[in-house]
Chain A
Amino acid sequence: MIDSFPFDEWTEDITSFWTFGPENSTGTYVLTVLGIILMVAALIYWVWLENKKLAAQAELLRSAGSLPPASPTAPGPGFEEPPLAGPSTDPGP
């Protein structure tokens, strides 16, 4: 029975439906732009939200008084900041 379906006619209907994947239509251009906006916005939001959470937790821990003040410089060696092991590898005098 499945062979009796009017597949050719249906194929044409499906192909021309705008969300299914017709090529280079205004609909797909718009969807592409909207998707890129969502992707970029989500990344920015991730950065902002995490920064807020980390700053709040660090402030909470500092205010508890159990640690000395942290350096404002982000740790990490880089080529200009020997030794390669970074700040937790203080080679000593």
Chain B
Amino acid sequence: MTSSVASVLASLFAQVPTPEEINAKVDLDSLVLLEVFYFFTVVIMWLIHVGFMAYEAGVARRKNIMSTAMKNILTIAVVTPSFYYFGWYIYGCFEHGGPAEGHAGPAEFPGFCGLTAPWSAGMGGNLESSLTGHLSLVFFLAFLLFSWTTASIMSGAVIERIRLSAYLILAVVLGSSVWIMDAAWGWSSGGWLTTNYGFHDSIASLVVHGVAGAFALGVLLNLGPRIGKFDREGLARTFRPHNTHLTLMGLMLIFTGFYGFYAACLFIQSTVFPGWLNIYLSPTTLGTIAMVITFGFAGGFTGGWIASRGDPFWTLSGGLAGVISVSAGADVYHPSLAYILAASGGMVAVWAGGYIEKKLRVDDAVGAVAVHGVCGFYGVLLVGIFAGGFPTGVNNVPSSFGGQLMGMLAFFPLAFLPGYIVSWLLKKANLLRVPPEVELEGMDMAEFQQDFFPEFERVPEVVVLPTGEEVEAGPVLLESFAQVNGDRAGVTAGEERRFP
């Protein structure tokens, strides 16, 4: 009996791993956890794009549904390879402004930069078990989803008159060059804005949203408004969304995906307390940012509802604006502060949206410039006021109002000018906008030769005049078309019915 017990105990002790073996297993588990974590942030972030598609397709008139949705789908087709082939390299190697120096060939790029070229070990299947080995692929994917988001932000602003191909070219410029350049400068631990000025934008108020909004503004100035958007006095008319429920559901999907977006903006450092780092490698926690985003939605809905006096579209858009306004300081803010600041952001978006449409007479179909652009810049400014002094990045440079202003001054031209210049070139080549006849008839017939609600009776399109009166859109649009082309005599009452 005694010998039997001794034998069992001996066999048990023989299986006890050494401390070294335990450490090795813990390290391996940590790496697997890390890879799984980022993988699922990517899965959740797909909902942002489902949401953008539903949101924009709902806002579009019936005649433009599929051409609107296809923009969102094909964003993935063009931004994915372009971000792979040069976007990720820009992030890895342009932290100091221009490309990293001191390397003779692709194999000799220093550090992280060396893993970002498309032919490098970090960009293909990789069995090296480390942060810079096989894990670099899930980091790449998380940033790729951010890239799709920037393009999708611009996408909503330009619907119902931009050519699909023109949009795709602009999406490549924004999603694979412009935004990732600003991320290299101010959304990485080694970026020159971070290390020199303490620029702090932890969950990308400006580097994703603000920059995409500024780029979209540059495009809109060349693209022009939809035919009939403004009357002869320059007062704005309103086109009724074909499906407001779809639009609101799209926004809710975007909100859901934002939790993945927020989580993907953190690093896991499981061997050091508290286990989480922001993009600048400063400590924070997952709970901190989750509270800020949730209170950001609450405050944003409240602010949007108050400022718009209960308008459903702007109430929900206010939620998005609220979150964007507090994202820059989401690793720092107290939930109450996030709630209050987000409410102000929701209000700012409503007021900015009205100003952009009514005063600047820019036709932004979904309010992207106001919600993403204005609130993105506003959010970074708020950090300078409410989180000034917080140490940012590996150099622990305190964030400051001046440092935040420096980031804003650097990023506005970086985003606006490419948007304006590329869209101007496309316009000069007559490749930016669909022909006016096609715009009146609806883009779906020209692009896809079909009506995507064939079983439903087609009812006349309506438009809301600046006076608030809702009228049949056909005559209004044809009159606007005639203003564009200077021949009112060619339009007769009978022919107006061809374009309901």
Contacts and interface: CB of A to CB of B under 8 A. Distances in A.
B224 A75 contact: yes
B151 interface: no
B138 to A, nearest CB: 14
Given A46-B165, A92-B233, A68 B432 contact: no
Given A24-B119, A54-B446, A88 B225 contact: yes
Contacts of B172: 43
B231 A78 contact: no
Interface in B76-98: 77-78, 81-82, 84-85
Contact of B230 (A11, A21, A74, A85): A85
Nearest to A12: B127
Contacts, number: 195
B121 A21 contact: yes
B232 A90 contact: yes
A85 to B, nearest CB: 3
A92 B233 CA distance: 7
A1 interface: no
B168 A43 contact: yes
Contact of A77 (B127, B224, B435): B224
Interface in A48-93: 49-51, 53-58, 61-62, 64-71, 74-79, 83-92
A39 interface: yes
B107 A88 contact: no
A67 B225 contact: no
A43 B120 contact: no
Interface of B: 74, 77-78, 81-82, 84-85, 106-107, 118-121, 123-127, 163-166, 168-169, 172, 221-234, 360-363, 424, 427, 430-438, 440-441, 445-447, 478, 480-491, 495, 498-499
Nearest to B106: A24
A43 to B, nearest CB: 6
A15 B434 contact: no
**In which size bucket is the chain A interface?**
35 or more
Interface string A16-30: 000011111100110
- Closest CB pairs A-B (n = 10): A21-B124, A85-B361, A68-B487, A68-B490, A86-B224, A23-B121, A76-B224, A57-B446, A89-B230, A58-B435
24 contacts: A21-B121, A35-B81, A38-B81, A39-B81, A39-B82, A43-B172, A46-B165, A47-B165, A54-B163, A66-B498, A68-B482, A68-B486, A68-B490, A71-B485, A74-B430, A75-B227, A75-B436, A84-B362, A85-B224, A85-B229, A86-B224, A88-B230, A89-B229, A89-B234
B164 A50 contact: yes
A53 B165 CA distance: 12
